[in-house]
Structure 1
Amino acid sequence: MALDTETLKELIGTVERFVRERLRPLEHQVSQDDAVPAPVRQEIADLGLFGLSIPEEYGGLGLSMEEEVRVALELGRTSPVFRSLIGTNNGIGSQGLIMDGTEAQKRKYLPRMATGDLISAFALTEPEAGSDAGSLRTTAQRTEMGYVLNGTKRFITNAPHAGVFTVFARTDSKKSGSRGVSAFLVEAGTPGLSLGAIDKKMGQKGSHTSDVIFDNCEVPFDALLGEVEGQGFRTAMKVLDRGRLHISSICVAMAERLIDDSLRYAAERKQFGQPIAEFQLVQAMLADSKAEAYAARCMVLETARQKDAEMDVSTEAACCKMFASEMVGRVADRAVQIHGGAGYMEEYGIERFYRDARLFRIYEGTTQIQQLVIARNMLKSLS
């Protein structure tokens, strides 16, 4: 454990109170405005939440995987937009740099990421390369001065606010698939880098994504992550286990929030002279949701402990992501059903969570990709 028991307990308690007293009352406003208020963003930074997983030597909290999961299990009990604000700095936007960056690159970027002064973004997905990341078309042509990047990235989380992008581009056109792909650290404002319009999404309003466009964008040699060509796809894959566990814990937290809201509503809402919580079919929906959320919580915590023990958790992390993201979708659907007509109305917030939850089955690897990862790893274990 990176933190002693008492310090971790204090951190979790602080996050729980912050979510309950500060963030939850803002959920509707953030959704309506499609923006997180600047003062709230600063409060999140002051709590150190931008640097949960960044090592202490670079200004972060340096939490272990289990500690990060436990914090996320509290942070996720509100709109996922707030988590998304810090998500890239703690996950895919920083972990590649932490794992494979040079010391100079780490010292240049990580301290500012830890404080939230610098927002990072992970630019992998393209218009024709999502789950099939090996087919990306963005190129990085080597020159005497460095590299010239050309291509478009799509649906990039936090792109409109990012100060630095981890960009994946093909440096060797002769190598097919994932081979010949390298990662670059490209700063916002670099000539040739531009952004598309902010995407209008089904849910998670307040969390912004957009295209990132490279048009003869010149970067120096030291922008190459780790200053090694051809390691980009390997870097991308290495960050996935932690990212999948983090997202899984957010799914669990959202499910638990929905279960609490549904239980309270069912205990208060009366039909036929009694609370609907007394009806067995409503009880069945509550029980199914409770059991599934509990199973997902246990899966995530156990896998986090295994990762901290330096075990290979590729299969288990994929299991967590697949089960937890599908589970929260079912829980959200039941929550709408338990609330009845109220669940379809904006003022209760249940319909918002229903829309927000749908994204979890898509990003950080779709459910179908998780199935492939799990099955292929199972087959490999036979050899």
Structure 2
Amino acid sequence: MYELNAEESAIVSVVRDWVDRQVKPVVRDLEHANTYPGTLIEQMKSMGIYGLAIPEPWNSAGVSTPCYAAVTEELARGWMSLAGAMGGHSVVAKLLVNFGTQEQQDHYLPRMTTGEIRATMALTEPGGGSDLQAMRTVARRDGDDYVINGSKTWITNARRSQLIALLCLTDPDARPTHSGISILLVEKGPGFSVSRDLPKLGYKGVESCELAFDDFRVPATSLLGTEEGRGFGQMMRGLEIGRIQVASRALGVGRAALEDALKYSQERESFGQPIWKHQSVGNYLADMVTQLTAARQLVQYAARRYDDGGRADMEAGMAKLFASETAMKIALDAVRIHGGYGYSTEFDVERYFRDAPLMIVGEGTNEILKNVIVRQLVARNRVTR
């Protein structure tokens, strides 16, 4: 599976056992009731899961990105929403590690390690979607403060996060537009409202919200780093770990669907034999395990590339693109294998089928990611004339 040392393999094993003992027995009821998994989140904090992406000196138990991906896969195998509950948090942690001032790092990272502070990122706007340069949220300098006006949407964990990495325009007149984009580290206060939780097909239990900023004032020290206009590049690096995380969520959903389908195909009989022996079902299973294994290898490749410190947007994009499309296909094939029971809410495969599309459209739609991939492909293979 993953190429991990003994210590990291033990961490993944602990999370796997926890998922089997604590998550799987309760997930169906929590998900169908759209109930926030408070008890499970607290257990994740105590296990150190919220600090996995944070290295020393702020956390002595940080792990490699391949290990982080493996833990994410295990969480999503139990319930994709649990992996989502720590995804944006990890992106913000990496933003602080890579670009924050010493004061910002020391202020936030120790408490983010324990989960005392939970963080999320606010990128998407109602009219912009994956086009981050089309944003209209503006932060204007006013003395020692920024005054923020605008709105964001589809912000996961927004109600329960204490820290938001807000992507906004600090220079609306800058050309090109991205040179006027910055990240502000904001906490809730007057002028910042979470207007509503968005209803969703899947991804239940954790909230995805609309945010509104109306003359919301934050100190100038909220700027990530020391220079305005760096936010777009900073967030693109942050989205590399974000896309590896989403790809790992897809692996977890695909693996859960495969495991359920494999079990059911051995228990269910038709025409006097287990259904896996029927060629049509057996072919589904063969394709599912092959595609899932290939997707995991691509995620590992992206994770290793990220840890090497070089640019990994192409690798992370390929991993997220392939893993998410694979998870969607596996989830559908698991429904096919279950037959009519696959359409029943008494079986988990219907949940996998509802959760899988989130990874296709989240953290940059797959259509956008193909643009990212091909731009990097050409940039790395320029034809000289």
Q: Same fold (TM over 0.5)?
A: yes
Distance 1:60 1:121, change over 3 A: farther
CA shift for structure 1 position 279? 0.6
CA shift for structure 1 position 9? 2.4
Q: Which amino acid aligns with 2:181?
A: V
Structure 2 partner of 1:231: 230
Distance 1:48 1:231, change over 3 A: same
* Alpha carbons 2:12, 2:67 under 8 Å: kept: no
CA shift for structure 1 position 121? 1.3
Residues 110-133 of structure 1: per-residue CA shift (max 9 Å, x gap): 111111111111011101112110
CA shift for structure 1 position 377? 1.4
* Alpha carbons 1:36, 1:82 under 8 Å: kept: no
* Alpha carbons 2:85, 2:157 under 8 Å: kept: yes
Q: For 1:122 and 1:165, locate their aligned partners in 2 and report how far apart those are by CA, in whole Å.
A: 5
SS in 1 for 2:214: strand
Structure 1 partner of 2:200: 201
Q: Which amino acid aligns with 1:186?
A: V
* Alpha carbons 2:37, 2:205 under 8 Å: kept: no
Q: For 1:147 and 1:267, locate their aligned partners in 2 and report how far apart those are by CA, in whole Å.
A: 61
Structure 2 partner of 1:46: 46
Residues 95-115 of structure 1: per-residue CA shift (max 9 Å, x gap): 212211111111111111111
Structure 2 partner of 1:356: 355
Does 2:121 correspond to 1:125?
no
* Alpha carbons 2:305, 2:315 under 8 Å: kept: no
Residues 134-156 of structure 1: per-residue CA shift (max 9 Å, x gap): 01000011111311000001010
Does 2:317 correspond to 1:289?
no
Structure 1 partner of 2:241: 242
CA shift for structure 1 position 357? 0.6
Map 1:312-331 onto structure 2 (within 5 A): 312-331=311-330
Q: Which amino acid aligns with 1:267?
A: Q
Residues 142-185 of structure 1: per-residue CA shift (max 9 Å, x gap): 11131100000101010011111111111112114322011101
Q: Which amino acid aligns with 2:86?
A: I
Residues 224-267 of structure 1: per-residue CA shift (max 9 Å, x gap): 11131111111110112222112212212221221111011011
Deviates more, 1:148-157 or 1:293-302: 293-302
* Alpha carbons 1:93, 1:120 under 8 Å: kept: yes
CA shift for structure 1 position 60? 5.9
CA shift for structure 1 position 319? 0.9
* Alpha carbons 2:237, 2:313 under 8 Å: kept: no
CA shift for structure 1 position 36? 3.4
SS in 1 for 2:167: strand
Q: For 1:293 and 1:262, locate their aligned partners in 2 and report how far apart those are by CA, in whole Å.
A: 14
Structure 1 partner of 2:276: 277
Structure 2 partner of 1:139: 138
Distance 1:201 1:60, change over 3 A: farther
Does 2:115 correspond to 1:116?
yes
Does 2:165 correspond to 1:166?
yes
* Alpha carbons 1:60, 1:111 under 8 Å: kept: no
Q: For 2:118 and 2:282, locate their aligned partners in 1 and report how far apart those are by CA, in whole Å.
A: 44
Structure 2 partner of 1:79: 79
Distance 1:379 1:6, change over 3 A: closer
Structure 2 partner of 1:32: 32
Q: For 1:54 and 1:349, locate their aligned partners in 2 and report how far apart those are by CA, in whole Å.
A: 33
SS in 2 for 1:183: strand
Q: Which amino acid aligns with 2:119?
A: S
CA shift for structure 1 position 330? 0.3
Map 1:360-379 onto structure 2 (within 5 A): 360-379=359-378
* Alpha carbons 2:122, 2:167 under 8 Å: kept: yes
Structure 1 partner of 2:148: 149
SS in 1 for 2:150: strand
Q: For 2:237 and 2:347, locate their aligned partners in 1 and report how far apart those are by CA, in whole Å.
A: 40
Residues 262-288 of structure 1: per-residue CA shift (max 9 Å, x gap): 011011111222221111001111111
Q: CA RMSD in A?
A: 1.6
Map 1:48-63 onto structure 2 (within 5 A): 48-59=48-59, 61-63=61-63
* Alpha carbons 1:292, 1:327 under 8 Å: kept: yes
Deviates more, 1:107-116 or 1:68-77: 68-77
- Structure 2 unaligned runs (5+)? none
Q: For 2:38 and 2:130, locate their aligned partners in 1 and report how far apart those are by CA, in whole Å.
A: 34
Structure 2 partner of 1:5: 5
Residues paired across the two proteins, number: 379
CA shift for structure 1 position 197? 1.3
* Alpha carbons 2:121, 2:165 under 8 Å: kept: yes
Deviates more, 1:355-364 or 1:68-77: 68-77
Q: For 1:32 and 1:290, locate their aligned partners in 2 and report how far apart those are by CA, in whole Å.
A: 28
Q: For 1:129 and 1:99, locate their aligned partners in 2 and report how far apart those are by CA, in whole Å.
A: 26
After TM superposition, the score normalised by the length of structure 1 is: 0.95
Does 2:333 correspond to 1:334?
yes
* Alpha carbons 1:123, 1:156 under 8 Å: kept: yes
Q: For 2:168 and 2:311, locate their aligned partners in 1 and report how far apart those are by CA, in whole Å.
A: 27
SS in 2 for 1:364: coil
Residues 73-110 of structure 1: per-residue CA shift (max 9 Å, x gap): 322211111111222222x2322122111111111111
Deviates more, 1:237-246 or 1:283-292: 237-246
SS in 2 for 1:58: coil
* Alpha carbons 1:48, 1:60 under 8 Å: kept: no
